[in-house]
Chains A and B, each alone.
Chain A
Amino acid sequence: MSMLEIKNLHAAVGDDKPILKGLDLSVPKGEVHAIMGPNGSGKSTLSYVLTGRDGYVVTDGSITYDGEDVADMAPEVRAAKGLFLSFQYPVEIPGVPTLTFMKEALNAQRRTRGEDDMSAPDFMKHVREKAKLLNISGDMLKRPVNVGFSGGEKKRLEILQAAVFEPRFLILDETDSGLDIDALKVVADGVNALRSPDRGMLVITHYQRLLDHIAPDVVHVLSAGKIVASGGPELAKELEAEGYDKYVRAA
């Protein structure tokens, strides 16, 4: 069985509005899969359903991660099991310094897994190594989480957190949105550094541009809540050239 196995997934936002309508997807470990789709196809809903956001209700089907059905688990439990979502719009948390937040979150994950806390010096060493790679200054880490950060800084911080928490499966939701080409390169380098035979990735994007930097093994097209086509990287190029029209009509 693949690392992430989604079968016939139906999900709704709130009580009535069905968004995902029978989605099937299988991502083996070590692979990077891209999900492309037009606005309103259910891309962000999928990322929230996978990570357990309140109000995103699974009405049918299953989400199996590492052989376990995670659909009813709390977000923090899924996080501790290694599911990480890089947010399209990272949230500002005034008053909580970034370092403090990351340390609390990392140790909360470790406790949930039955591991000991990481000591403060070990944590600092761990963060410093990863921060250097993403060009993140110590000053930025002292500021409150995402408060006053530019779009590029916010996305870099998301990837830094992924590097620090070392999750087993990454979901990147529109990680390229709001980035200029230089920032995009830094972020993509950070993501590529996380590619490993033990780790799976789902890259959700509207544009092909990001996939020039993060080369996917498989590309899926999402339309009206279902995967309507799958193929190699060439599928992304085709979408870029021809648009989503034919898939929107087919759905």
Chain B
Amino acid sequence: MAVIEPTNTLEQILVPFKGATGWRGDFAERLKKDGLPTKRDEDWKWSDVTRASKGILGKGKVQFRSSVPPEWTEVRRAADQDFFSNLLAYAAVQAVPFFEPKNLTVLDLDFRALRGVSHAAATIVAGAGVKFRVHEHYSSEEQAFSAMGVDYVVGPGSHVERVILIDEAPKSVLLLSSGVTLHETGEFVQTVISQGGKLVRHETQLHSAGGGAKATLNAAYLVGKGAQADIVTRVNMAGPGGQLSQLIKGIAYGGGRGVFQGKIHVEQAAQKTDANMTHRGMIVDEKSEINAKPELEIYADDVECAHGNAIGTLDEMALFYMQQRGLPEADARRLLVESFLDEALAEITHDRTAQTIRGVVAQRLKGLV
């Protein structure tokens, strides 16, 4: 019998689902019927994944490395749940690497997507009263399409700090998603650094139980020519007395595109919620573009919630001031842009990690801005 080779990215994505049953089979049916998201889907209106992934074919692979060996677990999901990219990542893998650190200060995870279509997933659990950092690094070859899911559970009294550095190749697509379950008195601090790719979307869905739970979701994106970086957050504040702080800052230059979509949903039970979400974008030239949609949906009456969104350009007066003091224009621009992004990196507590990240950001901005 002749083997029919996939002729488009969707067919290639469906290959691992051949003969799948249960929720995986149901998800495959849904995918076959609806296809990949398009601009017509509200959640994806600035992220045309169908178009970005066009022409990416062949079976790819994600090379995964971790600083400690994982255990393995099976996953079960509901095929109709409203977290498409996460389902796409988890449905195609049978067993998921699983970490439950107990006496560890830092866990390093490295994901590298090879050319072609691939999936990967991992799950990290912080039980009760543990504290650790996770450093995740993502990179790829050109012409890769990968869906990756990294989920977290943060137990009572636990503290997890997560730093995500995304180094995608310019002609590749990465849909990276995380479901985070935050228990009472748990703390989760996340910082994403993304320079985009053909399309790089980082999505976080966080469920906070309240009761002293604290979440920080920060991100810095910098997109140049031909690159798009999306930062998407959906937070559900479910119980009383939860805290949430979000600062997302981004820079688009040379024709780059940045997207921020953030939604905070405060349930009626979540009284005394303290939540704020701020997005600041800087568009360096006329070719570039940033789109943002911050949303609050509040069903409790005794809460403090705020969101702010501002998109501006490089401050010409500041630029002149710095030049007047002797800094060449290029250096002045770089310093302004670096300092603009820096605020979003403030929650990285480990000095050496913060230094490395700042170095990476400075390197990327060199000669580009």
Q: In the complex, are the beta carbons of B339 and A94 less than 8 A apart?
A: yes
Chain B nearest CB from A78 CB (Å) reads: 8
Among A52, A79, A94, A144, contact of B325 (Cβ-Cβ < 8 Å):
A79
Select one of B317, B328, B338 contacting A91, CB under 8 A: B317
Quick check: is B331 within 8 A (CB to CB) of the other chain?
yes
In the bound complex, residues from chain B placing their C-beta under 8 Å from that of A93 are 318, 321-322, 335-336, 339
Q: Give Cα A76 to B320, complex, Å.
A: 9
In A69-94, the 8 Å CB interface with B consists of 74-76, 79-80, 84-85, 87, 90-94
The interface size bin for chain B is 20 to 34
B window 315-353: CB within 8 A of A: 315-318, 320-329, 331-332, 335-336, 338-340, 342-343
A87 to B323, CA, bound (A): 13
| A75-B316 CB under 8 A given contacts A94-B343, A95-B343 | no
Tell me the interface secondary structure of chain B in the complex.
helix
- In the complex, the answer to whether A54 meets B320 with C-beta atoms within 8 Å is yes
A241, B42: Cα distance in complex, Å: 68
Taken together as a complex, chains A and B put the C-alpha atoms of A165 and B324 apart, in Å, by 11
Query: Which of B317, B327, B338, B343 meets A108, CB within 8 Å?
Result: B327
A163 CB within 8 Å of chain B: no
A109 at the interface (CB under 8 A from B): yes
Q: Is the CB of B318 within 8 A of A76?
A: no
Query: A105 near B326 (CB under 8 angstroms)?
Result: yes
Residues of A in contact (CB 8 Å), total: 30
Question: Is A41 close to B, CB under 8 A?
Answer: no
Q: Which residues of B lie under 8 Å from residue A53 when comparing CB positions?
A: 320, 324
CA distance A165 to B322 in the complex (A): 13
Q: How far is the CA of A85 from the CA of B340 in the complex (A)?
A: 25
Whether B315 and A91, one on each chain, are in contact in the complex, defined by CB atoms closer than 8 angstroms, is yes
User: Is A161 an interface residue when CB atoms closer than 8 A count as contact?
Assistant: yes
Please provide the chain B residues from 249 to 270 with a CB less than 8 Å away from any CB of chain A in the complex: none
B340 touches A95 (CB 8 A): yes
User: A84 contacts which chain B residues (CB < 8 A)?
Assistant: 324
**Which A residues between 90 and 143 are near B, CB-CB below 8 angstroms?**
90-96, 101-102, 104-106, 108-109, 112
Q: Give the interface of A toward B (CB within 8 A).
A: 51-54, 74-76, 79-80, 84-85, 87, 90-96, 101-102, 104-106, 108-109, 112, 144, 161, 165
Known: A75-B320, A91-B320. 17 other contacts (CB 8 A): A53-B320, A54-B316, A74-B323, A74-B328, A75-B323, A76-B326, A76-B327, A90-B321, A92-B318, A93-B318, A93-B321, A93-B322, A93-B336, A93-B339, A95-B340, A96-B336, A161-B325
